Amino acid sequence: MAKPPVKPKSASSSPDGAQKPSEIVPRKSIEILNDRLGIDLSADNPDQILAVLSSIKRSASMSPYTSADMLQEYKDRGFPELVGKVIDTIDTENAHRQQLEKFAVEQEQKRLNGSQRGAQFIAVLGVVGSLIAGYFHVSVILCSIVAAASIGGPPAASIVLKVLHRRESSE
């Protein structure tokens, strides 16, 4: 198997063979970093590039509170009263969100409870109706089907219909 050709070192490579960031990063990305963020990747000093990149901070905390650095920055810039307001606003917003979540859970539970009561009512009504129909000599199969469908709901009714359809098609 042939070896890939060795790429000669360009004049812009550093003496130790490492490439400059401008040789690794696509030109379009370099332009975006330079235009929008003011990051000059053409600088030969990697420490300068790292200093610029590390100055761009992003808060990725799971805490609802603003970072201590940001709060300190508010104080340093002459807004000490803003720190308390920020914390109070965050606390108020969290309490409101938790109240909404609690309300949503309560409403969902009420809906589920209502569905259960409705299903129980239909099941009892179906069984009682089947018993009354059986008392008046209606077909036992029909009474059994109504009782099963009222207790089991749509899945039971579907199964009963499939069984009846198979029985009819086999006759």
- Return the axis-axis angle of helices 80-135 and 68-76, rounded to nearest 10°: 140
Give the mean model confidence (pLDDT) for residues 4-26: 53
Q: Is residue 11 a part of any domain in this protein?
A: no
Cβ atoms of residues 157 and 165 within 8 Å: no
Both ends of the chain: CA-CA distance in Å? 73
What's the predicted TM-score (pTM) here? 0.45
With respect to residue 74, please indicate whether it lies within any of the assigned structural domains.
no
Provide the domain count of the chain: 1
Question: Using CA atoms, how far apart are residues 68 and 61, in angstroms rounded to an integer?
Answer: 12
Residue 154 clears pLDDT 70, i.e. is over it: yes
pLDDT reported for residue 95? 94
- Give the pLDDT confidence score for residue 6 in this predicted structure: 47
Q: Provide the pLDDT for residue 144.
A: 86
Give a yes or no: residue 138 inside a domain. Answer: yes
37-91 pLDDT tens trace: 666 666 666 666 666 666 555 545 577 888 888 888 888 888 888 888 988 999 9
**Between 23 and 104, residue with greater pLDDT:** 104
Query: pLDDT at residue 26 above 80?
Result: no
Residue 148 lies in a domain: yes
**Domain contains 144:** yes
Q: Is the pLDDT of residue 2 over 70?
A: no
Which domain, by its residues, includes 101?
Answer: 21-45+79-170
Residue 58, domain member (yes or no)? no
Looking at the domain assignment, is residue 52 inside a domain? no
Contact 120, 135 (CB under 8 A): no
In this predicted structure, what is the pLDDT of residue 11? 44
Longest Cα–Cα distance of the chain, Å, equals 104
pLDDT tens for 92-124 read 999 999 999 999 999 999 999 998 898 899 999
Predicted local confidence at residue 111, as pLDDT: 93
Is residue 68 in a domain?
no
